[in-house]
Amino acid sequence: MLLEAKNIFKAFRDTVVLNDISFSVDQGEVVSLVGQSGAGKTTAVRCVMGLEKCDKGTITINGRAVCKTENGVCTHATKKELAQIRRELGMVFQAYHLFPHLTVLENVTLALTDVYKIPKTEANEAAVAMLERLGLGDKINNKPNELSGGQKQRVAIARSCVTNPKLLCFDEPTAALDSALVVEMVNIIKDLAKKDGIGVLIISHDEKFVRDVSDRVLMMEQGRITRELSAEEFKQIMRA
Ligand SMILES: Nc1ncnc2c1ncn2[C@@H]1O[C@H](COP(=O)(O)OP(=O)(O)O)[C@@H](O)[C@H]1O
Ligand SMILES: [Mg+2]
């Protein structure tokens, strides 16, 4: 299993936000976490990314522990271990966090040259190929503020995918998109999962999008996963 999260607990002060949740994502699989605002979805993904430390539980990504709990004691990956784990992770945030002063190409190559120390020509080649795949070949020299919302999001995806992550997380990827762009997003995510074998974890409350993109759907309510559904079961529930 690519991602395995087991018995995760997390409280902020005395508010329990994750109350014993377990979930997994396999290679090439698209799994969605759905549920009302405040259910704990973002916190769950932040724990996976190591951006938030859970209080109890075990999370492994490709065999490496973000945190583990043994005999009731929870230990977290060191900074160095986390840096290693993050090399296999990509995250597309709700606000795309592009650098406004950099071009599209520079936004996408930055991690390759600065974190992965890949030579600039090689980084440029990889970035251009990824941008072309996402239909942005003619935008490489534009600045983010010259792009539409859908295009900005694709730049954010290109930036996350150019480093060849094994696991890709999206927080509300369709929040700012109209329906035609949602279809496009479904195709992009499916392509990354099925062609590249990337495991994808999505947070969303867009039911149609979730229905079309997911292999499995986990329903969250007040810090718990209340139902685990196959794509087909989720479709049936939506029809009802
Ligand atoms: N850093 C934080 N400090 C305190 N409470 C937080 C923090 N982050 C999230 N919460 C609370 O945790 C709950 C779950 O939030 P979140 O994970 O963002 O839910 P969702 O993404 O499902 O809307 C909410 O009640 C929220 O107010
Ligand atoms: Mg959220």
Do 78 and 107 reside in the same domain of the chain?
A: no
Q: What is the pLDDT of residue 220?
A: 96
Do 141 and 213 reside in the same domain of the chain?
A: no
Do 155 and 126 reside in the same domain of the chain?
A: yes
Residues with CB under 6 A from ligand 1: 12, 17, 35, 37-43
Token pair 């999001």 in the structure block, residue: 153
Annotate 9-32 with three-state secondary structure.
EEEECCEEEEEEEEEEECCCCEEE
Q: What is the pLDDT of residue 177?
A: 83
Do 159 and 170 reside in the same domain of the chain?
A: no
Q: How far is the CA of 39 from the centre of ligand 1 (A)?
A: 8
CATH number at residue 186: 3.40.50.300
Do 100 and 73 reside in the same domain of the chain?
A: no
Ligand at minimal distance from the CA of 35 is 1
Q: What percent of the chain is predicted at pLDDT more than 90?
A: 85
| Pair type for strands 167-171 and 199-203 | parallel
Q: What is the pLDDT of residue 238?
A: 85
Atom of ligand 1 nearest to the CA of 36: 22
pTM of the model: 0.93
Which residue's alpha carbon is nearest to atom 18 within ligand 1? 42
Q: How far is the CA of 38 from the centre of ligand 2 (A)?
A: 7
Range of the domain at 29: 3-88+165-239
For the stretch 120-143, pLDDT in tens is 999 999 999 999 999 999 999 999
Q: What is the pLDDT of residue 135?
A: 92
Token pair 């060849």 in the structure block, residue: 164
Q: What percent of the chain is predicted at pLDDT more than 70?
A: 100
CA-based nearest residue to 196, from 228, 160, 225: 160
The residue from 164, 180, 211 where one domain ends is 164
Please, are residues 218 and 231 in contact by the beta-carbon 8 Å criterion?
no
Residue 95 has pLDDT above 90, yes or no: no
Q: How far is the CA of 91 from the centre of ligand 2 (A)?
A: 14
Q: What is the pLDDT of residue 205?
A: 86
Q: How confident is the model over 45-60, as a mean pLDDT?
A: 96
Which residue's alpha carbon is nearest to atom 7 within ligand 1? 12
Residue 94 has pLDDT above 80, yes or no: no
Residue 41 has pLDDT above 90, yes or no: yes
For the stretch 178-226, pLDDT in tens is 888 899 899 999 999 999 999 999 999 899 999 999 999 999 999 999 9
Do 100 and 147 reside in the same domain of the chain?
A: yes
Q: How far is the CA of 37 from the centre of ligand 2 (A)?
A: 6
Distance, in Å, from the CA atom of 57 to the CA atom of 18, rounded to the nearest integer, reads: 10
Please, are residues 30 and 194 in contact by the beta-carbon 8 Å criterion?
no
Distance, in Å, from the CA atom of 4 to the CA atom of 52, rounded to the nearest integer, reads: 16
Our mutation pick for probing the ligand 1 site, out of 9, 16, 33, 42, counting the most ligand atoms within 8 A of Cβ, is 42
Distance, in Å, from the CA atom of 224 to the CA atom of 231, rounded to the nearest integer, reads: 20
